[in-house]
Structure 1
């Protein structure tokens, strides 16, 4: 290259444009390298235009005999005959030559390599960045620009094809843009076309694998892959760009694709590799569903793979296996499991029932697992337990005896559970799932007969054991969710949180139990009084009765804590429906207790009384185990407080005192119940209330502790104690200290009563709470606030609060 222009060529197209535009008559020799579609032809066209504008003739490969008369611009040099390339070498060696040659990175014949050596370091064309794409596209949405970049990889030619045919903002590759790839594919040749087709249907782009799959020699495949790379069709690791893959699938006949897919499936089946990515695109294609043993086996295996990776596809894949020739009976149980995992519970139960009653069907134990799991999800724990109990000794599966026992204990049948656990039939091999089930049953039994700490320890171990295998197994309930429930009932919120986090992270219990884990995780901030976090964690789209019961109780709890009576009334409507669908069991007592408090706040307990009576009967049959009974009793106490039923509250307090010995939370609730009785009687001891409120907070009931302090503040006649207790309540809720009291009004704008009202409003009390504290009606409080607004010249509540804060003592 002429030394005078070397400094102008920085290896980028901009440098080459600048060199030609600055000195169009100066000698220059340069190569332009880039895969197909990167803009080599467009760049040469720009340079040709610049030369012609300067009066310099533009010559091509056919004009090399008069190369000295102008600038020689040659495109696609990699396609030229060796003799022409030799002539270009001679031109490049001539003094004063103006020669610009564009070529792809490979394959590179020897003559082209010699020419590149004469031209020197090439100008390298690059892909468009997202920022450059945004400038080119203009005002399209940012998400669409990101989508376009992901689909095209930023290859300029592919971007242009999409922009010419697509509607900005619509994330769908236009058929017209894909059809333009026909010429690109044709230029690859037969071997190259076969390779990209195989890659498009899922083949690994390795020369040896493709050669075996396509009956080609490795050298041919290697050359074909080199051409594919030079054509700009792949990204790193030879993965086809999404737009290229879509074009190949569109432009290749079904018969050819299916032929390659069959060969690839056979290879994968022989080596035990995954087949789901290969056969899932065949779903719904009539040509693929003709009876054929290979495809039947592939669809069957893909269905098993989909249970973990794409559960929504599993039922369709098993149906496709039957359509392809697999015996329907051989897949009935697995079809039932697939339907359950995909959330099609009605279909799952229908298929499971058919499997269970047909002794000729293989894998009947899977049918029992499906039926037991679906029944538990529907809130029918006793039927689920009986299903597990029936299978013991008949259709053994890992954990059937233990899940039968857990379900029986859950509905108050401890003696029957002990009979099941004491049976001497073979429990099967000691797998991780079997070990988890044994620990689960032991922990649940301990929770009703022994200590909270021993029960929780066994259940956490069960959750840990089930994590590696639980994702692919259908279970009536997960050890993690039971462990979390027990932890919540004894105030071990950190244990509950860590157990649920691990279960959610590992996918324990599979898709069917995912929502349950997330709902219980949302319960934790609710107990702490953080309604914002509880609502943020609340999953959407709960479909089973058990999940809907938890979700509705959380909604009611949020509304109750936020004092949103409209939302509370809406939650009651949902609760009446869902609680009618869900039978009472031990593991549903927590949401039931929350709904009891909500019903009390709405002065509407009649609808929930039958379920509460049933729950008390269940606990009575179990001997009123403190771990499970104390929390429901505490909620019943709260309902009595809301309704100002002092006699009933005294009874609940006595019951809690009898359970105080069992665990720290039970002890904190028992002490708090005694303090509540004093508050209801108008006897507020500030120190005692603060100590008890903080004990509730430490035991896991942060919101309850804050409520105790807040209600004591409202009911005390001592203003100093009131302010201190309000400060305690705010601290337990994690809120900043309240504003200080309003200072004396030097101008006499506010009366003493108005200053009292202002203090309480600034402290965060509602009009109703202010009224209770000052022994006036909420309407009178509202009237005082209205007059204060007028006197301070305020236009709205926010302005009022800001003006009052300006009068705070310093």
Structure 2
């Protein structure tokens, strides 16, 4: 008999248990079917106990001469010889017989099939569900229950092996549990062991494939697979259960595994099939370091496959190919690309430089593409452009001329870009990538020389054309990200959103541009003033210099909008470092503008002034294109407002007025600048302020519109206008209207003056600003706040602000 595993209940066996327990003397014939480890022996043991408790003798297959004296319980009927099975058939046909027989699904001799026919429909044992497993294990976490079920498939025997050798919560298969599979593997025979070894290293469980791979007869493989299924070693799809696979790999000698792996790799290479799952387990093993032509070729191909799905693995696979005998020069360019995709930018640039200068290395153009892409990621756009420009006419790759032009324009060198674009030679056939790159360059050029709508339309088409290329290409930047930047600069947030969503879905640009698209997607809720969504969308993990610049600017923008000065100061510290690492270019103006406002709020502008000067010089070299210049000018205006620099604000407003003709957002910003000047001068027209704030909102600057309305509210002397403008600001931020009857009015908790002070403090004003607005001293404001805090029972400033927001309906 099989070794008992566990006494776990199974719903299909409940009726059989009940029948034996309630009427142990009644005739009964039944079969119990289940793969190995599913609990057949345990069930028969329970039934035997029930019979003995009722005084009924329990007999086995060797006691058939005395079958009429008690109940006959037979385990592992699939192992019995034909004479014994024939006698069991006779017993099953006798009236009054009590016969219970357990057996595996197959293989099945004819005599057993006849016996099953006499026993009738069997009790079918199944694996444990996660819920049943949870009941058996007890207090373990849901995550660990899911892990245990995934590893064991819920097979009771395997569950028991794990539970007996490891504490719940440890997500690691213990060696002692795996060693217990030796008996199961020995029972499979030579052909069965060969089949599970092949399946463990990655072979598809198809009889013809396994027969060819293992030099076995197809019939023998078919029988072996039946035994594997009957042994409970595979899931419903014939794939080895994870615990079984781990046991096979542990218990099979490595030379046998290597022999099967080599044959399987040869088969896959001949068929053009994937080899990554076959050779990745060999990484780190001594056999991977041995000279082996087949493995060398397999590691090379696996490196290519891993580039998309397992980028961190790709460099190791190419290194393993060299260790296995592949010439280092044959994989050098792809090794550089793999390093870039894996985020190892220093290594990628080092390897790419070696590839570019070595004429003996194949795929040198790939080395140029890697270097150009890495340089752009590190915030060195002009150097990236020069690399692309150098490759034109020397080491051509799809899109090199276009990406060179984009980088040159982004660095303020329009004439050089035009000269390059007007040259006549090309980079080969007009593929999707070359077409997308050409449109990208045309769209960027149009953005600095012509129409915003034409530029955006061209860039969106470029992004759409590049989508089929997906993750398989390395780029200095993606058409989608450039299109999104242009859309943000002209207020087309919906276009930016849809373009970025498609880029994220298709994985355009591969892992190297993964963060780029997500960071720009996080910028969209920041512009709308939704700091919660912006923070939630910020990607995690290590970032390149270009991505860190955008991420830091978003963090600064969130802190500024939330009026969190501590977080703003922390972002300032990060910004000083990342801005120093990143050269100023056209595509970094958006984060630069946000950091400019953060510096103004902290009264610490000196560190950012040199970079602003560079940005203004770059725009001047390009003729101050309105699409790119207007947004930075608007941010400079906001910084002037923060610093109460009226003269400077007037200059910025005049500059915006000169660009109002270019696009609707520029027009909205120009009008808003004019209204801001009036607000700063103490002239607040409620209708004009509301109309202008809503225009900014409609043009894509929702937060800026709300801020204009809010600042107009706190600077007007008309209380009714102040409340109306505050409601307008709330509406533009997507907040519900403030209740007319609030707790303070009903209960008299706050006086009218205290409510005025509270509203202005909640609006973000300092005590000095509140005092100036209400014609009282800052010390008096402080006294008011102290009394309010005491009256409301607030324990801290944060608690006070939260209570005031609730009390005043903000």
Deviation at 1:268, TM superposition (A): 0.4
Answer yes or no: is the 8 Å Cα contact 1:32–1:125 preserved in 2. Answer: yes
Identify the residue that residue 738 of structure 2 maps to in structure 1.
738
Q: Judge conservation of contact 1:738–1:762 (CA < 8 Å) in 2.
A: no
What does 1:204-243 correspond to in 2, within 5 Å? 204-243=204-243
Instruction: Check whether the contact 2:515–2:543 (CA below 8 A) recurs between aligned residues.
Output: no
2-structure distance, mates of 1:72, 1:775 = 102
C-alpha offsets along residues 536-563 of structure 1, whole Å, 9 cap, x if unaligned?
Answer: 0001224211011101101110111111
Partners of 2:758 and 2:387 lie apart in 1 by 63
Q: What is the correspondence of 1:268-417 to structure 2 with a 5 Å cutoff?
A: 268-417=268-417
SS of structure 2 residue aligned to 1:12: helix
TM-score w.r.t. length of structure 1: 0.96
Match of 1:603 in 2: 603
- Identify if the C-alpha distance between structure 1 residues 420 and 104 changes in structure 2 by more than 3 Å, giving closer, same or farther: same
Q: Secondary structure at the match of 1:100?
A: strand
Equivalent position of 2:612 in the other structure: 612
Residue 406 of structure 2 contacts residue 444 of structure 2 at CA under 8 Å; is this kept in 1? yes
User: Aligned partners of 2:605 and 2:801: how far apart in 1?
Assistant: 38
**Equivalent residues of 1:11, 1:123 under 8 A apart:** no
In structure 2, the CA distance between the partners of 1:744 and 1:432, relative to structure 1 (3 Å rule), is closer
Partners of 2:411 and 2:803 in 1: how far apart? Answer: 59
Aligned to 1:428: 428
Q: Secondary structure at the match of 2:99?
A: strand
Deviation at 1:787, TM superposition (A): 2.6
Per-residue CA distance 1:453-498 (angstroms, 9 max, x = gap): 0000111111111111141111111111000000000000000011
Name the SS of the counterpart of 1:32 in structure 2.
strand
**Alpha-carbon distance change, 95 to 793 in structure 1, aligned in 2, over 3 angstroms:** closer
- Residue equivalent to 1:649: 649
Q: How far apart in 2 are the matches of 1:468 and 1:761? A: 53
**Number of matched pairs:** 801
State yes or no: 1:437 paired with 2:419.
no
* Residue in 2 that maps onto 1:711: 711
Shift of 1:739: 3.3
Cα distance, 1:126 vs structure 2 = 1.4
Q: Show the counterpart of 1:257.
A: 257
Report SS of the residue matched to 2:374: helix
Displacement of 1:773 in angstroms is: 3.4
Matched position secondary structure for 2:472: coil
- SS in structure 2 at match of 1:552: helix
Please give the alpha-carbon distance, in whole angstroms, between the structure 1 residues aligned to 2:368 and 2:777. 61
- Alpha-carbon distance change, 798 to 481 in structure 1, aligned in 2, over 3 angstroms: closer
Q: 1-side partners of 2:677 and 2:801: how far apart?
A: 35
Q: Distance in 2 between matches of 1:545 and 1:747?
A: 55
- Quick check: 1:11–1:122 contact (8 Å CA) kept in 2? no
Secondary structure at the counterpart of residue 634 of structure 1:
helix
Tell me which moved more, 781-790 or 599-608. 781-790
How far off is 1:11 after superposition? 8.3
**1:63 aligns to what?**
63
Partner of 1:677: 677
Structure 2 residue 530 is the aligned partner of structure 1 residue 530:
yes
Deviations 1:83-124 (A, max 9, x none): 110010011111211111000111111100100111111111
Equivalents in 1 of 2:86, 2:52: separation in Å? 26
SS at 1:91 equivalent: helix
8 Å contact from structure 1 (residues 76, 102) kept in 2: yes
Q: In the TM superposition, what is the alpha-carbon distance from 1:778 to its structure 2 partner?
A: 5.1
Does residue 626 in structure 1 map to residue 665 in structure 2?
Answer: no
For residues 353 and 219 of structure 2, the distance between their equivalents in structure 1, rounded to whole angstroms, comes to 57
Give, in angstroms, the shift of residue 754 of structure 1.
3.0
- 1:198 matched to which residue of 2? 198
Matched, 1:728 2:728: yes
Distance 2:779 2:124 in 1: 79
Identify the residue that residue 127 of structure 1 maps to in structure 2.
127
Cα deviation for residue 792 of structure 1 reads 7.0
| 1:424-448 deviation line (CA, Å, top 9, x unaligned) | 1133100000000000000000000
Question: Is residue 258–residue 288 contact of structure 1 (8 Å, CA) maintained in 2?
Answer: no
1:414 offset after TM fit, Å? 0.3
Do residues 164 (structure 1) and 164 (structure 2) align?
yes
SS of match in other structure, 1:170: coil
Conserved in 1, the CA contact under 8 Å of 2:686 and 2:725?
yes
Cα distance between partner residues in 2 of 1:697 and 1:444: 26
- Residue 465 (structure 1) aligned with residue 465 (structure 2): yes
Residues 109 and 446 of structure 1: is their aligned pair in 2 closer, same or farther, counting only changes over 3 Å?
same
Separation in structure 2 between the aligned mates of residue 19 and residue 700 of structure 1, nearest angstrom: 74
Specify whether residues 800 and 273 from structure 1 end up closer, same or farther in structure 2 by C-alpha distance, changes over 3 A only: closer
Aligned mates of 1:191, 1:240 — CA distance in 2: 16
Q: Which residue of 2 aligns with 1:666?
A: 666
Give me the whole-angstrom Cα distance separating, in 1, the residues matched to 2:403 and 2:491.
25
Q: Contact (CA 8 Å) 2:490, 2:666: kept in 1 or not?
A: yes
**CA–CA separation in structure 1 for the residues paired with 2:336 and 2:257:** 31
- Say yes or no: does 1:589 pair with 2:598: no
Q: Tell me the CA shift for residue 789 of structure 1.
A: 5.4
Report Cα offsets for 1:512-548 as digits up to 9, x if no partner.
0010111101100000000010000001224211011
8 Å CA contact 1:207, 1:222 repeated in 2: yes
Matching residue of 1:178: 178
> Could you tell me how far 1:131 is from its partner in structure 2?
1.2
| Deviation at residue 755 of structure 1 after TM alignment | 4.6
Local SS of the residue matching 2:623: coil
The alpha carbon displacement at 1:794 in A equals 7.5
| 1:74-89 equivalences in 2 (<5 Å) | 74-89=74-89
RMSD: 2.2
Q: What is the rounded CA distance, in whole Å, between the counterparts of 1:620 and 1:28 in structure 2?
A: 97
**427 and 74 in structure 1: CA distance in 2 versus 1, 3 angstrom threshold:** same
d(CA) in 2 for partners of 1:401, 1:642: 43
Matching residue of 1:5: none
Q: Which residue of 1 aligns with 2:700?
A: 700
Rounded to whole Å, the distance in 1 between the matches of 2:749 and 2:530 is 38
CA contact (8 A) 1:312 1:342 kept: yes
Quote how far apart the aligned CAs of 1:780 are.
Answer: 2.9
Give ranges in structure 1 of 5+ residues lacking alignment. 1-9
**Corresponding residue SS for 1:236:** coil
Q: Which residue of 2 aligns with 1:564?
A: 564
Q: Name the structure 1 match of 2:3.
A: none
- TM-score, structure 2 as length reference: 0.96
The answer as to 2:93 corresponding to 1:93 is yes
For the 8 Å contact 1:715–1:772, the answer to whether it is kept is no
Structure 1 residue 781 displacement after superposition: 2.9
CA distance in 2, matches of 1:562, 1:745: 27
CA–CA distance in structure 2, aligned partners of residues 388 and 138 of structure 1: 62
Task: Answer whether contact 2:743 2:749 (CA < 8 A) is retained.
Answer: no
Matching residue of 1:496: 496
The match for 1:4 is none
Distance 2:495 2:767 in 1: 39
Distance 1:25 1:470, change over 3 A: closer
Query: How far apart are 1:25 and its partner, in Å?
Result: 1.3
Distance 1:320 1:718 in 2: 76
Aligned-pair CA distance for 1:17 = 1.0
Tell me the secondary structure at the aligned position of residue 684 of structure 1.
coil
Residues 129-179 of structure 1, C-alpha deviations (whole Å, 9 max, x = no match): 111111111111110011001111110000000000012111101111111
Q: What's the counterpart of residue 7 of structure 1?
A: none
Distance 2:429 2:406 in 1: 20
